[in-house]
Chain A
Amino acid sequence: MNVGVAHSEVNPNTRVMNSRGIWLAYLLLTTALHVVLLSIPFLSVPVVWTLTNVIHNLAMYLFLHTVKGTPFETPDQGKARLLTHWEQMDYGVQFTASRKFLTISPIDTCEHKTCYFYTKYDTAHFVVNTGSLLSVLLPKLPQFHGVRLFGINKY
C-alpha cells in the first residue's frame, strides 16, 4: 500500500479525466493547436483543418489507446499494467460522462460543420479525415475493451 496517500483510490489514473477543468484544458489545447497551424503562412485553410484533425487524433490515439499502465506504482498488483488509459478510465465502466465527451469531441471536430465544411467536401481530404476519425473511434467502442488486434501492443 502506498503509505502517505491521502485517499483510498487504488488507481488515481481512473479519476484524472473527471477532474475539474480537464475538459476545458483539453478543448483549449486543441484550439491552441489549430491556431498555431493556422498561423503557418503557406498552408491553406482546408489543409490546416485536416492537419488539426489528424494531429489531434494521432495524439489522442497515442495517449489514450497506446500507452499502457500507470506512470507510478499502484497497489492494485498490476491489474492496470496491460490496460490503456481509455480502458482504465472509471475502472472500465462504460458510457460515463468523460467517455462520452472524449468520444464526441473528435466527431465534432471532424464533421459537425467544421472539418468537412472547410475542406469543401474534397475526396482526398475526406478519405484522410474519415480514416483518422475511425482510428480514434473504434478503440473507444465497448466491444473493443481489452481487444488487441493482431497482437499489437499486447504486452
Chain B
Amino acid sequence: AKDSKIAHLGYQEEKGEDSFEEAPMYVAVLTYMNYGIVILFGYFRDFLRAVGLEKCHQAQEREEQRNFVPLYQDFENFYKRNLYTRVRDNWNRPICSFPGPFFDIMERVSDDYNWTFRLTGRTIENVINMGSYNYLGFAENNVDFLKTVAEETRQYGVGVCSTRQELGNLSIHEKLERLVAEFLGVESAMAFGMGFATNSMNIPALVGKGCLILSDELNHTSLILGARLSGATIRVFKHNNMQSLEKMLKESICSGQPRTHRAWKKILIMVEGIHSMEGSLVRLPEILALKKKYKAYLYLDEAHSIGAVGPTGRGVTEHFGVDPNEVDVLMGTFTKSFGAAGGYIAGKKELVDYLRSHSHSAVYATAMSPPVVEQIIRAIKCIMGVDGTTEGQRRVRQLAENTRYLRSRLKKMGFIIYGNQDSPVVPLLLYLPGKVGAFSRAMLKRKIGIVVVGFPATPITEARARFCVSAAHTREMLDKSLDELGDDIKVKFSRHRSSYRPELYDETDFELDS
C-alpha cells in the first residue's frame, strides 16, 4: 500500500505542493527604488559624517593610528550603519518571561535613532509569540513536567563536567538515546549537546576528502559548515529541484573526482525536512528513489520537522509514509519541538557506534546536562503517549490544525505565503525594506511579536516576516493576530483571486429570523 501511494501520479496533490508565488513586477521595481533611496541617503549621511556636520556614533580609528593600514574597511559597514541601524529595534528585543504562547517584552527606547538603547523599566505584557520555535508548546511552566526534571537534577546534578567518551556517559544519556531510537523507529541514536554542533561536528566524521556532498541551495549554516570542514567536494543543487539533483548526480558520477576522475568514495545528499526560511517540505519519496538509483546516501536534517509534521509527530518520514530505516542518517534537534537544547543523529547501529568513537562532539564536547536530558525524555514520552495521557497526541493534532488554519486564512486575506500547507513555518513576504521595519513595529504596538528578515540574509527582493505556529496557540490568539494584520501596511500582494461565490447566509448563525 505504501509503495503504490508513491507510484501514484496524483500523490503530490494529496501532500500539497510548495508554493512560491511571485509578486507583481511593480513590487520588485519598488523594492529596488526603496534600496536605491536608502543607499543615496546612506552616501549623503556618510558624507556629512566625514565632513563633521553629523556626529559619528560608530567606532573610529584612533588619532595616533590614522596613517596606519586600516583594520576594517569602511564600506563593509555601510549596510549596517545606514540600513540596519535604522530598523535595529526590531531585533534582539529582551524578553523577561518564558517564550510560551504569550511572553513579556521589556520596553526599550532609543534617543539617538537606534544607535543606543535604554530600558524604560516597563514591560509590554502578554505579547502573542509568533516567533519562537515552540511547535508543540513544551516551552511552558508546567509543574508536572518539572517535577521529574527536578528529581533527576537532584540525582545527577546540573553539570556533567566531562565528555561522553571519558566520564560523562550517564545512564540518563543511554535512556535518552534508546528512547529517541524508539521514537523514530530506527535501530540506534546518539544525542549531542548542541544542535548546530551536531551537524558541524558529525558531517566531517561521516565524509572526508574524496567524497561528494550534494547539498540543497538553502541549507542551514550548520550543514554548510560541516560540509566545508569535512574537506569533501560540495555541489549545490537548486532548492527542492529533483531535476537539478539528478542532473548533478549523473554528471558527478560520470566525471568522478575533480582532477583524477576516480570514482567517488561516497556520495551524500544533504537536505532538510523543513527549511526554516522558506517553509518548504523536502520531496522525500523522490529523493529516496534517486538515492537508490544512483547509490548515494541521504542525510536528512529534521530540525524543524521532527515533532511538527506527521500524524503522530514522527517527522517527514511519517508524513510521506516512508520507512525511516531507508534514510541513512536521520538528524534532528531537540530545540524546536521538545523545548530543550541539543541534537541527535539516528540510523543503523553500526553508524551510530562509529560516531560514538569518531565524532568530534563525542570526543571533545561536554555531554548533555541531566535536567535538559530529562526534559527531552519527558517530552518524547508525552508525544509517544507512554506517560499514559493523550496530551502529546492532542498537541500534535492542535499544531496541524493551527497550521492549516493560519495558512488558509492568510492566503484568503491576500498575503503571499511561501511553503507547504503542512509546514508550521509560515514566511509572509514583505519585499520592501521599509515595510520590514514598519511591519515589525506595527505588530509590536498591537502586541504581537514576530521575526522579520531582510537582505542580505534573504535574496534582495524577498524580505519576509516569519510566523512560527505553535500547538499552544489557541484559535482566539491566531484570530487576534490575523485581525491585526490589516491593510495599513499594504502587503497584500497575492494575485490569486478565486471567482465570485456569494455567501447567501451566515453558516454559524442558526436563528430562525436572520
Interface residues, chain A, with chain B CB atoms under 8 Å away: 1-8, 12, 15-16, 19-22, 24-25, 28-29, 67-73, 81
Contacts and interface: CB of A to CB of B under 8 A. Distances in A.
A7 B458 contact: yes
Given A6-B458, A8-B218, A21-B461, 15 more contacts: A1-B221, A2-B221, A2-B456, A4-B221, A12-B456, A16-B460, A19-B459, A19-B460, A20-B25, A20-B28, A25-B29, A28-B29, A70-B76, A72-B79, A81-B73
Nearest to B427: A6
Interface string B213-233: 001011101001100000000
B76 A72 contact: yes
B480 interface: no
Contacts of B276: 6
Given A7-B217, A22-B32, A25-B33, A71 B457 contact: no
B459 A15 contact: yes
B33, B36, B456, B461 interface centre (most CB from chain A within 10 Å)? B456
A73 B32 contact: no
B505 interface: no
Contacts of B278: 6
B32 A21 contact: yes
A68 B457 contact: no
A7 to B, nearest CB: 5
A19 B35 CA distance: 13
B75 A20 contact: no
B383 interface: no
B76 A73 contact: yes
Contacts of A25: 28-29, 32-33, 36
A15 B221 CA distance: 19
Contacts of A15: 459-460
B103 interface: no
A5 B221 contact: yes
Interface size class on chain B is 20 to 34
- Interface of A (DSSP majority class): loop
Contact of B224 (A8, A21, A67): A8
B125 interface: no
Given A12-B459, A25-B33, A72 B218 contact: no
B478 interface: no
Interface in B66-88: 73, 75-76, 78-80
Nearest to B22: A20
A28 B28 CA distance: 12
Contacts of B219: 8
A78 to B, nearest CB: 9
17 contacts: A1-B224, A6-B453, A7-B218, A7-B458, A8-B217, A12-B456, A12-B460, A15-B460, A20-B25, A21-B25, A21-B461, A22-B28, A25-B28, A25-B32, A29-B36, A69-B73, A71-B79
B218 A69 contact: no
Contact of B75 (A6, A12, A19, A68): A68
A152 B457 CA distance: 33
Closest 10 CB pairs of A and B: A21-B28, A6-B277, A71-B78, A25-B32, A71-B79, A72-B79, A12-B456, A25-B29, A5-B457, A6-B458
Contacts of A29: 36
B236 interface: yes
A73 B215 CA distance: 23
B455 interface: yes
A19 B28 contact: yes
A19 B461 contact: yes
B456 to A, nearest CB: 4
Contacts of B455: 12
B28 A8 contact: no
Nearest to B215: A8
A29 B35 CA distance: 13
Nearest to B461: A19
Interface string B1-41: 00000000000000000000010010011011100100100
Contacts of B31: 21
A54 B221 CA distance: 44
B29 to A, nearest CB: 5
Contacts of A72: 76, 78-80, 456
B459 to A, nearest CB: 7
Interface string B267-291: 0000000001110000000000000
Nearest to A15: B459
Interface string B246-286: 00000000000000000000000000000011100000000
A72 B79 CA distance: 6
A24 B218 CA distance: 27
Contacts of B28: 19-22, 24-25
A67 B76 CA distance: 11
A12 B461 CA distance: 12
A19 B219 CA distance: 20
Contacts of A70: 75-76
Contact of A5 (B33, B39, B456): B456
B458 to A, nearest CB: 5
A139 B490 CA distance: 41
Contact of A21 (B29, B453, B458): B29
